[in-house]
Structure 1
Amino acid sequence: MLDTRTQAEDLLRQLEDAGVSADASPRRRAEYAYDASNYRLEPLAVVFPRTVDDVVAAIAACRATGTPLIARGAGTSMAGNAVGPGLVVDFSRHMDRILGIDEGAGTVDVEPGVVLATLSREVERATGGRSTFAPDPSSKNRATVGGAIGNDACGNHSVRYGRTSDHVAEIDVVTSDGARLTATESGLRATDPSDAASAARAAELAESLAQLAGEHLGAFRLELGRIPRQVSGYHLQNLLPEKGFNVARALVGSEGTWAVVVGARMKLVPKPASALLVCLGYDDVVDAARDIPTILEFSPAAVEGTDEAIVETMRHRRGADSVLGLPAGRAWLFVDLDGDDPAEVRAQADRLLARLAGNGRLVDGQPVPDPTARASLWRVREDGAGLSSRLASGGESWPGWEDSAVAPERLADYLADLRVLLDEHGLTGVMYGHFGAGCMHIRITYDLRSDEGREAFRTFTRAAAELVVRHGGSLSGEHGDGRARSELLPLMYSPEVMAAFAQSRRIWDAAGILNPGSMTDPDPMDGNLALAGVPEREWRTSFDLRPLGAAAQTDPWTRAVQGCIGVGRCRADSGGVMCPSYRATRDEKDSTRGRSRVLQDMVRGARTVEDGWRSEEVREALDLCLACKACSTDCPAGVDMATYKSEFFDHYYRGRLRPLAHFSLGWLPRWLKLTGRVPWLVNAVLATPLGKVAAAAGGLTTKRALPRFAASGEWRREVADAGARLGGAASGAEASSAEDVVLFVDTFTRGFRPEVAGAAARVLADAGNAVECSADACCGLTWISTGQLGTARRLLSHAAEALDDGTDRPIVVVEPSCAAALRKDLPELVHTEQAKRVAARVRSFASHVAGQVAEGWQPAPAQPVPAQAVLQTHCHEYSVFGPGVQRTVLAAAGVSEIVDASGCCGVAGNFGFEKQHYEVSMQVAENALAPALRTAGQGAAVLTDGFSCARQVDQVDPGRVGLHLAQILDPGAARPQPAPTTGMTELPIKEAEEVQ
């Protein structure tokens, strides 16, 4: 491994002299030591090029120092072809522009870091929906064009549109000797015609490639390009005369070993006017595969499949309603039919269902016209890799043999034989994939932590490779060979073809510096495994980090932080809520995956992260985590970074001076007991210049207005008033223990929004509940978020005792973050049956009221509800109680138009009030909240159940009032108008935008 200090210093010096900035920090190297595969290789440094000149300089520095260079997009490779021991060049951060769309020519000019989903979206927007970019792998909302070219990626609709190589017109590359070339459908040329050196290199390279093809005509014709998904090896058949010497297509799938892609002209395809999903249920995947030939007769655009293990895991992790519209069965196919006439598409679906019923294997099938159900089903398939990695059963599965492919008509026989092979090796395979193209993504229950398990991995994988070759298939159908399968290529190809592969690589990269270890002269497939060599150590934690229902584990902390498998959904810019800080900064260190990788290096004691709980690298990686908890829901692998951050900070700050904000905000419930006695005095002082002094002294930003403090007994008066108005239904402390709902009035509501307590009590009573109010406890949220877990555990223990009244009455919590703490953190920090009993009863206000609506209750607000509402769902509400509940209630109340601000508001408890995080918090607001407020009419209601969300609304648009759902539904009071703040200067909108 090339990791000597001298080499690194030489490389960095060369890069600096060329004006290229490289990051060789231990934390950065830890982030980029992994991709989405089983492998870990620590790089020397990472470069984020802004221009092609930066790439040329980086290649020159690597050539001069003999350093490997690994080109990288989103780092979602499951085969290990985006990691290596040298310089990683990440194109996704800056070289991500769409340079031009030519609808007439049917092409789009892009840089390699453009995300596939972004490209499709922008093409459709520019062409009025007439055209699109077709390749759509499940990782399309973070995978890049450069990565798709590297792997020859396909996607869900490959039955119709084929592979990336089918959509390439030209590719701009830089070779390892510095030539800037363009590969075309008929040869090679210098990218710049005036570049004589590159022109000479293009001619030389083209001549060598043509000679190579001429020497191996028979072998290329017989062995290459035999089935739709034959991605393994180099695509040298495209150099044959009958293929027109298509160098562009030959270069696709070379996994960064021939040249570095710096641009491309990609082909567009027409977009069908109408599409319909047909979902089919079968007893097992083999039965499903046997119907593929029949389904292909109907010219589907997509035929995707999944098994019951993934569906069960989705429901286990995200709730029973997370999978809608699924027919009966234990394995399912998702078939997309399309056309210009919706009626004809529906008729085609009916004919398909009739034919399949006649085959006798179909258990159940139905069209899915509802867009919500359709999106839900596609998400099951698209999240397959992550969902299958951490199953509902508590087991783990891993890639390695996750990408084999056969001809579609042989898929059923291959799967039947593969299941026998799995049984013989005592393994279980979780199956999903592109059934219509014969490509299977199978994750397998290897034990990669033990020597015996790794030997089983090697033995089984070789046997599986021999099996797929017997079925005329390919080791890889989409992900490439990389470090996972390159060693096995001689099982698939003759010595002649293998020699031609090696020669083609030398023709392109004589220096041998581009992505070594893959394709030719590969590293062992069981070398550099990320789970190998992790020392056994018991990391003591306060949180119970075992998956729900899992048996006792040795070292749950290590297992938890190793939960991230690198699929990178946290890098997506749309869909879900995670990861707000990454969406703001576009820096890998601020993604859930980047933080996980640093934590994984922490538990393995790697050179990058050597200090364990005292690691400065981990602290830095966690610094911009907003603890929004969205990753615990949105991450297909269930990574819960908010919990990991809290646990780490608890250890890191032991014996160290904490940030001032950990006392000013972390101890907020204590301070509220004091301020509640003299709120008029506190508010008056904070309205003077002393307010800024006090904020600065507490480690808080002076750019954000502080809220007004309420008197300690004010919430009681509000609740008492609610009881008086509703005939005593909300009768406070004197309520009978037989009442059927406990309204928990949390610290934030008592200290800042007491009026919401009264509104909540009135709404619950109006819905027919007998209401008892409780406020004699604290959920410990502020101590949890700042990693002061000893205090948090004591407060939660007390809360469990106070709320465990021997009944199963719902405990309805006004503030979503406090509800989430009682529901999720309570049983994880307090390991008693009492804690579990109380947690099971906890509901957020919105989720409880949504249940009342579902049972037939009709809200009757005292004030007319605006037709339009901005919906800012609190992140903790979203992650713990599920999205959509507020939307249901608003619709029942008469709101007809919702402007969805789906995403974190940016305040996230203490985060947005801390001086060092203010700018990022405002950038996060620009992800969703600020644009939604600018879009909505001035008369729109703004729903902010979370106190933090309401404060951000005040900051972004001071003319708006963030309302709790209880205030919108309140049957007995007028809604509040904007209240005066404590006097701190608020940023005007213009200034807030400038802070992005």
Structure 2
Amino acid sequence: MEKSIMPHGHGGDPTLTRLLAALRGQGIEVDDSPRRLSEYSYDASNYRVRPAGVAFPANVDDVRAVVRECSALGISITPRGGGTSMAGNAIGTSLVLDLSRRMAAVEKPDAGEAAVWVDAGVVLGELRSYIESVTEGTLTFAPDPSSMTRATVGGSIGNDACGNHSVAYGRMTQHVEEVELVTADGAYLRAGRNFLCAVDHRDGHSVARAAELLHGLKELAQANLAALRVELGNIPRQVSGYHLGHLLPENGLDVAAAMAGSEGTCAIVVRAKVRLVPKPRTTALLCLGYANTIDSARDVMTILAAKPSAIEGLDASIVDIMRHRRGAGSVDSLPQGKAFLMVDFPGDTIQQASAACERLLAKLAADGRILDHALVTEPLERAKLWRVREDGAGLSSRRIDGIQTWPGWEDSAVAPDRLADYLAELLPLVERYGYTAFMYGHFGAGCVHMRLDYDLRSDNGRHTFEEFTREAAKLVVAHGGSLSGEHGDGRARSELLEVMYTPAMLGIFKAFKHQWDPAGILNPGIIVDPEPFAASLALAGVAQPGPGHGEPDAAPGTAVVHSAGNRELLPVVSPFVGNTHACIGVGRCRATSGGFMCPSYRATKDEKDSTRGRARVLQELVRAKGTSHDGWSSPEVREALDLCLSCKACSAGCPTGVDIAEAKSQLVDEHYRGKIRPFTHYSIGWLPRWLPFLTRIAPIANAGTAVRPFRIVGEWLGVSARRRLPDFAKRGRIRRRVREARFTDNADLLLFIDSFTRAFRPEVVPAAARVLRDSGASVGCTPDACCGLTWISTGQRDGARRRLARLITRLDDGTDRPIVVLEPSCAATIRDEGPKMVGGAAAARVAARVRSFSVAVDEAMSRGWRPTAPAPEKAVLQTHCHEHAVFGSGAQKRVLQAWGVPELVESSSCCGVAGNFGFEAEHFDVSMQVARHSLAPALAAGGGALVLTDGFSCAMQVSQLDSNRSSLHLAVALDPGPSREAGRVPGSW
């Protein structure tokens, strides 16, 4: 095999130096910084391979320039899309070519052809949304893998991905009409059914190379007709190896289809013409419950005969994980059972789709395997059930007890009619090796996804992993199956292709690769001349704090490290290490729509600003020699965490719960311990300490913040002069508002008045008290206390811990009365940080009592109460990111719907201020970029509607975007007013 000349980290390699200089001289962005190499050392697989550098081409000409320079110098290339590969297809010692960052153009679809040309870096979910919007919902892009919110077209072609609805729509192979390719020697070609030509006929090199390749491919197919017909294309999901059956005469020599599944080893897909399909008008979901997974698999053929669009399977372990992480309400729509099939039926009307479900139920009832069922036609309830399958699969990366699970044997496939028999042998095999399986999959296509709790840290564990994988490979092949059903072979399965294919077929694969890439510079070690699948495992060399699979407890302050078969103890940099090692690289933080994370990535589209990129850099802190152990002092760590808003969205949105905000706080705390800190740590970080004084001199303070010289000085000290600053409330006004609340002793619930509400929005206090009384509760007030939020966000954790401990002492009054906190970030801090930073039974008791205001109102509405204030016709809702992370964002939406708001516009991301971040001078621009992603469009869509911002930082950003527009706390919006409240008699709360 032609190996890359690049070692792990080039260390001044003169060949690489020449390459980088040549590319930079042509205006192409390339990066070989330690931080960047850390980010691109991983994908979503079990592997870690440090690249030589990363290039970010802006167009096809850039790709050709990169390839020509690499070809001339003998440097290998690894093409990469969203980096979501679970088989290790997107990492290498090569120069990584990231096509996702800048190559994301979509042409206008040709409705007559029902096809569209797109760049390789276009994200599947974004493509689907765009197509549905421009065709007014008549057409869509069908492939829908679970990673569709971040997986790219180019990467999905490389893996031949599909998704939940492949029963109806097939794999990417069936949706690629033409592709544009850059070959290993820089030729620019277009390929399709029965043609391969130069994109530009004036480009002599490309014309000659196209002719040479087309002739060679025809000869290769003609010389191997029998082998190609016998060994390839036998089952719906035979993704392993090259798809050379498409070169057969009866298949029209479809070069584009043959390139699907080639994993970047033959040519670089830069553009593709993809097929569009009619979008179903409506869909009904039939969820079936079974006693076990094998019973569910035995019904697959009966279900397939009914022609649904999806047949997805999952077992009880996925449901248990979902229940544990998302709450019992997330799975309460499932029927009874220990295994489930989710069957989608499209239709022109919901009655038509439901009738198809009923006909299938009658047939299945006769077979007697189903225990229970749920037929769902309401879109929101249907989406909730699908989330069990989609989110539960992602959450299964960590068991309920915290043990991590891994891919490795996550993509095997057999013919659907052999699925039950295959599972009947596979599951006992898993049990025999002592593993726990979390299983789901595309059962209608015979594809089984599972995550297993391998021990990949110890020598014995990796040896067992290798034995199991080889035995599992033999088992699936014995059932006529494929090692891969949609994830590709990559580093995980390429070595095992010898189990699946004859030596003759492996020779044909090698010849195919050689025709395209004779020097072997494209993604070496994948499919052809493979690397051992147990090599380059990421956990072989990772410091794991405390006990791990097969490991004794590490001594305090140390961690177990395995490197080259040797076991040693290394210092643990910080307690955050275990949390960041939970990152498995699925890249949900790179999604650009839906959910709250990661706001800085959405602003910059740079891997370094994703939760995944940051976690990967932090993981490198505990690796062997040659990697920085300087924490926040390390330039790569500071660059990675600089734009983290500390919004905590990752703690809830990441499937493994990686909390970068906590990691950043800990690192900053370590770095500045005993040192002079930045001015903003004392100004914004200590703001609750200054507020009592500033409210006493409110007129002077407000005048000072408005004077330009003071703003300029503030800018120099780190507080942005461009940021609109709030007015401090006068001390007398604050006292009047608190008296107006009419708090009582021995009340049913207590209102916690945080520092920000008291100093900047005191009118919220009486409004909240009136709303809660109107709901039937008597309302008291907690003792004054500070949760220490600003100390946490600026990495002053000892100060935060003291304040939280004092707060817990004051609030732990021996009752279980709810504590309603007006500022969502303070509520989240008491609920989440109190037990973690202070600990003990008292912290747990107080945390359990804490509600955000919207949660408290939602609870009251669930008991039948309705506000007396009139509901607006339309509202714009900005949920605070901390509330979303700790309490979820559903409460506010339910309150507004129950209140009777007919039209609701939601902002689905952080506002961009996130505490101190948006006030800091160096972060102002990014803060506004974040706001323009979600909040600004929501405000525009809402027109003159009521804007709700319970979070003070969110309210500040609304006023920054539009100085003439104000927003309200939910309490003020629901406030019945003193006159309305006076006539009510409090009821039982």
TM-score interval, normalised by the smaller of the two chains: over 0.9
Partner of 2:986: none
Partner of 1:557: 576
Q: Distance in 2 between matches of 1:169 and 1:406?
A: 26
Query: Which of 233, 236, 243 matches 1:228?
Result: 236
Q: Distance in 1 between matches of 2:26 and 2:874?
A: 55
**One-letter amino acid of the counterpart of residue 557, structure 1:** F
**What's the CA shift for 1:385?**
4.3
Q: Does 1:11 align with 2:30?
A: no
**One-letter amino acid of the counterpart of residue 881, structure 1:** F
**One-letter amino acid of the counterpart of residue 761, structure 2:** R
Partner of 2:954: 949
Partner of 1:456: 464
**One-letter amino acid of the counterpart of residue 240, structure 2:** S
Q: Distance in 2 between matches of 1:60 and 1:294?
A: 53
User: Secondary structure in 2 aligned to 1:279?
Assistant: strand
**One-letter amino acid of the counterpart of residue 659, structure 2:** D
Partner of 1:880: 886
Partner of 2:840: 832
Q: Distance in 2 between matches of 1:721 and 1:179?
A: 77
Contact 2:576 2:662 in 1 (8 A): no
Contact 1:26 1:609 in 2 (8 A): no
Change (3 A) 1:674 1:974: farther
Query: Which of 628, 631, 634 matches 2:653?
Result: 634
**One-letter amino acid of the counterpart of residue 14, structure 1:** A
Change (3 A) 1:697 1:203: closer
Q: Distance in 2 between matches of 1:571 and 1:801?
A: 41
Change (3 A) 1:475 1:257: same
Contact 2:103 2:119 in 1 (8 A): yes
Q: Distance in 1 between matches of 2:328 and 2:273?
A: 44
User: Secondary structure in 1 aligned to 2:108?
Assistant: strand
**What's the CA shift for 1:306?**
1.4
Q: Distance in 2 between matches of 1:709 and 1:693?
A: 20
Q: Distance in 2 between matches of 1:607 and 1:171?
A: 42
Range that drifts further, 698-707 or 470-479: 698-707
Q: Distance in 2 between matches of 1:960 and 1:318?
A: 36
**What's the CA shift for 1:197?**
1.8
Q: Does 1:856 align with 2:864?
A: yes
Q: Distance in 1 between matches of 2:499 and 2:80?
A: 28
Query: Which of 602, 615, 625 matches 2:634?
Result: 615
**One-letter amino acid of the counterpart of residue 801, structure 2:** R
**What's the CA shift for 1:419?**
0.8
Q: Distance in 1 between matches of 2:943 and 2:103?
A: 37
Q: Distance in 2 between matches of 1:355 and 1:496?
A: 45
Over residues 851-871 of structure 1, what are the superposed CA-to-partner deviations in whole Å (9 max), with x where a residue is unaligned?
Answer: 00100111122xx44211111
Over residues 552-590 of structure 1, what are the superposed CA-to-partner deviations in whole Å (9 max), with x where a residue is unaligned?
Answer: xx9963321111111111111111111111111111111
Contact 1:718 1:757 in 2 (8 A): yes
**One-letter amino acid of the counterpart of residue 741, structure 1:** L
Partner of 2:6: 2
Contact 1:406 1:472 in 2 (8 A): yes
Equivalent residue runs for 1:212-611 within 5 Å: 212-323=220-331, 325-535=333-543, 557-605=576-624, 607=626, 609-611=628-630
Over residues 308-351 of structure 1, what are the superposed CA-to-partner deviations in whole Å (9 max), with x where a residue is unaligned?
Answer: 22222222222222335211112211111012233221111111
Over residues 688-737 of structure 1, what are the superposed CA-to-partner deviations in whole Å (9 max), with x where a residue is unaligned?
Answer: 334414532541111112111124464443232121xxxxxx23xxx23x
Over residues 729-751 of structure 1, what are the superposed CA-to-partner deviations in whole Å (9 max), with x where a residue is unaligned?
Answer: x23xxx23xx2211111111111
**What's the CA shift for 1:791?**
0.3
Query: Which of 955, 964, 968 matches 1:963?
Result: 968
Q: Distance in 1 between matches of 2:153 and 2:102?
A: 14
**One-letter amino acid of the counterpart of residue 140, structure 1:** M
**One-letter amino acid of the counterpart of residue 287, structure 2:** C
Query: Which of 662, 671, 674 matches 1:652?
Result: 671
User: Secondary structure in 1 aligned to 2:751?
Assistant: strand
Partner of 1:682: 701
Q: Distance in 2 between matches of 1:540 and 1:719?
A: 52
Residue segments in structure 2 that go unaligned for 5+ positions in a row: 547-553, 558-571, 981-989
Residue segments in structure 1 that go unaligned for 5+ positions in a row: 543-553, 724-729, 976-996
User: Secondary structure in 1 aligned to 2:266?
Assistant: coil
Partner of 2:143: 135
Partner of 2:777: 769
Contact 2:878 2:949 in 1 (8 A): yes
Over residues 924-950 of structure 1, what are the superposed CA-to-partner deviations in whole Å (9 max), with x where a residue is unaligned?
Answer: 111111111112232x21100000001
**One-letter amino acid of the counterpart of residue 495, structure 1:** P
User: Secondary structure in 2 aligned to 1:962?
Assistant: coil
User: Secondary structure in 2 aligned to 1:963?
Assistant: coil
Over residues 99-145 of structure 1, what are the superposed CA-to-partner deviations in whole Å (9 max), with x where a residue is unaligned?
Answer: 23111122111110011111122222222222221111111111111
Identity across matched positions, percent: 57
Contact 2:695 2:759 in 1 (8 A): yes
Partner of 1:708: 727
Query: Which of 883, 899, 910 matches 1:904?
Result: 910
**What's the CA shift for 1:607?**
3.9
Q: Does 1:56 align with 2:61?
A: no
User: Secondary structure in 2 aligned to 1:113?
Assistant: coil
Partner of 2:683: 664
Contact 1:907 1:921 in 2 (8 A): yes
Query: Which of 905, 930, 938 matches 1:924?
Result: 930
Aligned residues: 950
Partner of 1:149: 157
Change (3 A) 1:974 1:31: farther
Partner of 1:108: 116
Q: Distance in 1 between matches of 2:631 and 2:908?
A: 36
Range that drifts further, 214-223 or 799-808: 214-223
Q: Distance in 1 between matches of 2:643 and 2:575?
A: 24
Range that drifts further, 518-527 or 270-279: 270-279
User: Secondary structure in 2 aligned to 1:700?
Assistant: coil
Equivalent residue runs for 1:744-783 within 5 Å: 744-783=752-791
**What's the CA shift for 1:655?**
4.3
Change (3 A) 1:540 1:926: farther
Q: Distance in 2 between matches of 1:596 and 1:173?
A: 33
Q: Does 1:915 align with 2:921?
A: yes
Partner of 2:41: 33
Over residues 33-91 of structure 1, what are the superposed CA-to-partner deviations in whole Å (9 max), with x where a residue is unaligned?
Answer: 11000011111111111111100111112112221101110000000000011111111
Q: Distance in 2 between matches of 1:463 and 1:714?
A: 75
Contact 1:906 1:924 in 2 (8 A): yes
User: Secondary structure in 1 aligned to 2:96?
Assistant: strand
**One-letter amino acid of the counterpart of residue 2, structure 1:** M
Change (3 A) 1:610 1:213: farther
Query: Which of 177, 190, 196 matches 2:185?
Result: 177
**What's the CA shift for 1:801?**
0.4
Q: Distance in 1 between matches of 2:518 and 2:675?
A: 54
**One-letter amino acid of the counterpart of residue 371, structure 2:** V
**What's the CA shift for 1:610?**
4.2
**One-letter amino acid of the counterpart of residue 884, structure 2:** Y
Contact 1:598 1:609 in 2 (8 A): no
User: Secondary structure in 2 aligned to 1:968?
Assistant: helix
Contact 2:783 2:810 in 1 (8 A): no
Contact 2:354 2:377 in 1 (8 A): no
**One-letter amino acid of the counterpart of residue 826, structure 1:** G
**TM-score scaled to structure 2, two decimals?**
0.94
Contact 1:900 1:932 in 2 (8 A): yes
User: Secondary structure in 2 aligned to 1:37?
Assistant: coil
Over residues 264-285 of structure 1, what are the superposed CA-to-partner deviations in whole Å (9 max), with x where a residue is unaligned?
Answer: 1111122222211111111221
User: Secondary structure in 2 aligned to 1:99?
Assistant: coil
**One-letter amino acid of the counterpart of residue 652, structure 1:** H
Change (3 A) 1:219 1:838: same
Q: Distance in 2 between matches of 1:589 and 1:695?
A: 29
**TM-score scaled to structure 1, two decimals?**
0.93
Q: Distance in 2 between matches of 1:484 and 1:721?
A: 66
Q: Distance in 2 between matches of 1:653 and 1:75?
A: 35
